[in-house]
Amino acid sequence: MNYAAATTFLATAWLTYDNAPQLAALIFNIIQPVGSFQNFCDHWYRALPNDDLALIDVVIRVQFTEIWIDLEDAQKVFDTLTTLFKNDLFAAGNFGVEIYPGKKSPFWMSMSYGRDVIRIDPYWWEYNVIGDLDEYFDKFWKVLLPFESARLHWGKHWPAVGKTYGSRTIGPGFVEESYPNFGDWKALRAQFDPKNVFVTKYWNDLLGLEAE
């Protein structure tokens, strides 16, 4: 199944995107037919981590960015993505865009701090022969990061520091306006690492953690 999916991704990557979505749908429906929904129940470790069944380190190597937006803006997000896909078939890609909710968190630097969220995950297959992941992710960043409630997952791809989306520029200002307690967090972090031993240039540029 993994090799069949990879072959489909590669084949559609070589085609013009006028035909690729239809061909991909045809091939995927042959190797994994989509029928009626079926309820199932299983142990969490067999039902939840489905990545264990895919060759994600070899054949289905993927990268992704993840944007968290206030759940109250969900309809605006769907409208925005619908317009994006309608006007740019390349944004639909040859893989998938995952959308799912996230529960409000009490932790200061959590992407869902203070509100329930909707999470948007565009996936990029590493062996694509057309385009690159920054070009692909930028299509989503351009339309979703202008949302005032948008936050980026700390462990996924971010735009380069200094890039601007709407009125928001990636860097310390973007983080500060996204997280109400960012200043308090920086003060606590400085107590534990006053000499910035654990601060790389990347994190310093993004968070503004110059030693006092």
Residue 27: per-residue pLDDT? 72
Domains in the chain: ranges and CATH: 1-60 (no CATH), 62-212 (3.30.70.2520)
Residues 163-184: what's their mean pLDDT? 97
Which one is predicted more confidently, 207 or 24?
Answer: 207
Min mean pLDDT across 12-16, 82-86, 93-97, 168-172 is at: 12-16
Band the pLDDT of 212: cuts 50, 70, 90. Answer: very low
Which one is predicted more confidently, 151 or 38?
Answer: 151
Which one is predicted more confidently, 129 or 13?
Answer: 129
Q: Label each residue of the chain as H, E or C.
A: CHHHHHHHHHHHHHCCCCCHHHHHHHHHHHHCCCCCCCCCCCCHHHHCCHHHHCCCCCCCCEEECCEEEEHHHHHHHHHHHHHHHHHCHHHHCCCCEEEEEECCECCCCCCCECCCEEEEEEEEECCCCCCCHHHHHHHHHHHHCCCCCCEECCCCCCCCCCCEECCEECCHHHHHHHCCCHHHHHHHHHHHCCCCCCCCHHHHHHHCCCCC
The whole-model pTM stands at 0.80
107-145: per-residue pLDDT in tens?
Answer: 999 999 999 999 999 999 888 877 899 999 999 999 999
